[in-house]
Amino acid sequence: MSAAGIREERRVSWWAPVVFAALAGGMGWGIRGQYGHETGAMIAGLLVSLVLALVFCSDRKPLSVARAVALGVVAMGIGGTMTYGQTVGLTHNPEFIGNWAALRWGMLGLAIKGGIWIGFCGLFLGMGLGGVRYRWREMFGLMAALLGAFFIGQTLLNSPFDPANRVLPPIYFSASWYWQPDAEALKPRPEYWGGLLLALVTALAYAGWWRKDGLALRLGLWGFVGGMIGFPGGQSFQAYHAWNREAFQQGLWAWLDPHMNWWNMMETTFGTLMGATLGLGLWLNRARINPADAAETELPASGEAGLLAVHLSLLAAVEFLAVPAVDSVYDLGLIMAIIPIVGIAGGRWWPYLAIFPVTLLPIAGKTLDQLAYREGALSVGAGWAIYFVLPMLVASAAAVYFARRSGDGRAGARPHRGGDSGNFLRASLLLSTWMYFLLNYAFFHFPWPWAQWTGRTPNGIIFTVCAAGLTVLAISKCPGKAKVME
């Protein structure tokens, strides 16, 4: 039965994907704030993609669904290349309070950058769910084309960049002498949104026009809308606080405000809004959900292992070692995504590896580094055991277990027990939710609400509520059964 000839009616209320994806996005993006950049963003991509897959696809083949989830995870990291701290600063830094033009410009920049960031996740998640089978060679070619589009976009929209001579691009959303003409110590940052925007447009055109993948196109656009709403929407709260501090000096706010981390609240709100929007977009296009059959895989196990070894080596170098030659190349989100996307598209093991240990490794490593090496909160040996070795062993075991149950990867092979993905998605959501919650809670120094409050306590409470909600989804009857008709 072809994807074009399928119509599906899903008994799913709109609120389920919207509410639970909002919880996943809020917690995931809020946790990302502690870990940063491409790999931190993948936490939100993982939780949101797992939620949407569980809501809509629990009756589908595990490998097909795992491939879609993994694509969403990796794609969420691509936008981490973009700088945005100075863009946020235009809306709330003390020197810009009362400057409405700077506020509008900063919010516009956040809308564009947020749209690009989440647009990639929506697009690739849709590519996994939309019924079109993308082979690994095709994905490699697509990523090469996107990289070329990126460099063209950089040239057209993010150049020239010569801060030594005060020469900046015509459209520039970071610190510039336009807003601070007398600033001597200004340090403008190179921007990448133009290159990523052209890469995203290229990918949307390829999936929607060339491959006729309607879900990928639509969910990519919904992701763009979610990011456009989410980033400036979240920053609106932080900017309002900066512009109206007197309003927070009375009543309940006088007690609560000293304990508020407004930056992390911005991130949490951003994630909540973008997750809800992606959930609504997928619900509106639920009749197009039909993950392509992934029974046949193209990469041998040795090829998958080789790709894994190369990627993890380069990832570890970027995240934990100062190797300029590696950083200059592999710190670019599009390049960092090439090996995982090729492995996910062509392999049986890679989708599960991307969902579990590959996404976890930099997060566990950064938690270990912060708590054991930088802060000395516990001994180095205990830190390695608790925050790195144990989580990585659990994640790796989960990847092997579910990969083995998905079948042996040969054409015509019968899968092991558990023909649908419901159990896999439930277990993955539970494990991922609590793994990242607990690592982040340790990073927060365990801000128990009954202990003395710190700047981490309010977000800790919010993340606890989110984790509880995602647990309810994981252990409840899955709403994603479908009636499929020609």
Give the Cα separation of 346 and 97 in Å (integer): 51
pLDDT of 407 reads: 61
Per-residue pLDDT, averaged over 341-364, amounts to 97
pLDDT of 8 reads: 44
Give the Cα separation of 336 and 356 in Å (integer): 17
What does pLDDT average to over the chain? 92
Given a contact cutoff of 8 angstroms between Cβ atoms, the answer to whether 35 and 320 are in contact is: no
- Whether residue 360 has pLDDT greater than 50: yes
Per-residue pLDDT, averaged over 453-481, amounts to 89
- Whether residue 4 has pLDDT greater than 60: no
Residue with tokens 């009954």: 450
pLDDT of 483 reads: 43
**In the structure, what pLDDT confidence band is assigned to residue 292 with cuts at 50, 70 and 90?**
confident
- Whether residue 417 has pLDDT greater than 70: no
Give per-residue pLDDT as tens, 96-137. Answer: 999 999 999 999 999 999 999 999 999 999 999 999 999 999
DSSP conformation letters of 430-464: HHHHHHHHHHHHHHTT---TTS---TTHHHHHHHH
Give per-residue pLDDT as tens, 394-412. Answer: 999 999 999 998 764 443 4
Read off the tokens for 19: 């509410």
Residues near 36 by beta carbon (within 8 Å), at least 6 away in sequence: 80
pLDDT of 184 reads: 83
pLDDT of 411 reads: 39
In three-state secondary structure terms, 484 is strand
